[in-house]
Amino acid sequence: MWGVDFDGQPNILDVYVRNLRSKIDTPNQPKLIHTVRGVGYMLSEHVAE
């Protein structure tokens, strides 16, 4: 995402996703960003369990 020469912290994507979740998620509504273990993140209103 940032290129091979990026010299940031290893958890930078986690921080961005957390900030994005805090901006778009609303109480009493389904979550929009879901963590897909071993893959990454998925944007969806509903997640199949």
- Note whether 42 and 33 are within 8 A (CB): yes
- Run of H or E including 9: none
Residue 18's pLDDT is 94
Angle at 3 between CA 18 and CA 10, to 5 degrees: 45
Predicted local distance difference test score (pLDDT) of residue 9:
78
Note down pLDDT in tens along the chain; length 49 residues. Answer: 667 777 777 788 889 999 999 999 888 888 999 999 999 899 987 655 5
What is the pLDDT, as a whole number, of residue 48? 59
Q: Please report the pLDDT score of residue 34 as a whole number.
A: 92
